[in-house]
Amino acid sequence: MLELTDRHFRYFARLLTKRTLLYTEMITTGAILHNKPEKFLEYNKEEHPVALQLAGSSPKDLAECAKIGEDFGYDEINLNCGCPSERVQNGSFGACLMREPSLVAECVFAMQSTVKIPVSVKTRIGIDNDDSWEFFLNFVESIAKTGCNYFIIHARKAWLKGLSPKENRTIPPLNYETVFKLKEIHPDLKISLNGGVKNLDEAEAVLHKTDGVMIGRAAHETPWILANADSEIFGEDLEIKTRSEILERYLPYAESEFKKGVPSSLLAKPIMGLFHGIAGAKKYRTMLSQPGGDWMNFAIFLLCPKNSLMV
């Protein structure tokens, strides 16, 4: 979710749902430690609860970054052990860490010893030909021995060579049963499933067998699915807003950020899929792609009832 779940998208997502846990993009320890941390860790207070997703393989560096994240006010620290990109592999973090469970355990223990907020691990069910049940179980149990009890499992293995990150999200087959089996064997662990879940109906089906569901690409491409999450998943009796109401609430934020120098393309990206499935959505996306701030004028135009795609 690099360059997708930035602070602008998370602000927009929070307009749709108050209860779901939001995650940052994957941020490397080097980026935080070798720059001003606020460049990567700045967020809006409205985003809470929000988790900081870290990438790294040095226990010392991860512990330091976890502490910085805690001081910034993040609600959870997450260690990414699932990203398969070559750039990530060259840095010796991400999915390739599944072959080093003892190192990951050391990293997790170092973070847990430094912060008081929860530490979680996001991983795959295997990598390359190391995709047996025994390999996966050993990885999880090695980390669980540190006291870490929260795992987010992308229910696909990753191919570290030969497939792009995009292909790694679609070509390796989904295997939900492996995640379900892990939860059956370890009811003491909090297990969330990631991968292939496109809507709340699918999420609810998975929740019968796991503790949570992470929705990534679908939340970005069709964000309106989040609008019913608080009522359907968390049982809160809330008035469902319209797409136009959400757009109207986002525009003042976008205008404020634009005046601070944030590129209009970054501010338009979160709302590109807001009218997905509605007649006229293609024209809407085309207009939002205009350079400069012109798309804001178009968005305001949409708020007039006679022009709106959905009021």
Rounded Cα–Cα distance for residues 152 and 183 (Å):
11
| Burial grade of 188 (CB within 10 A; 0-12, 13-18, 19 or more) | exposed
Q: What is the DSSP letter of 208?
A: T
Reference 6, options 289, 268, 281, 301; nearest CA is 268
Residue 236 and residue 174 in contact, taking contact as beta carbons nearer than 8 Å: no
Residue 154 and residue 194 in contact, taking contact as beta carbons nearer than 8 Å: yes
Ramachandran quadrant class, 280 (left: phi over 0; alpha: psi -120 to 50; beta: rest)? left
Out of 81, 83, 107, 148, the active site residue is 83
Ramachandran quadrant class, 210 (left: phi over 0; alpha: psi -120 to 50; beta: rest)? beta
Would you state the torsion angle of the CA atoms of residues 227, 230, 235, 241, taken in this order, to the nearest 10 degrees? -40
Task: Please enumerate in sequence order all residues whose Cβ is within 8 A of that of 291, keeping only pairs 6 or more positions apart, or say none.
Answer: 264, 265
Query: Which regions of the chain does DSSP assign to beta strands (E)?
Result: 22-28, 50-55, 76-81, 119-124, 150-154, 190-194, 212-214
For residue 148, indicate whether it is catalytic: no
Rounded Cα–Cα distance for residues 273 and 224 (Å):
8
Catalytic residues: 83
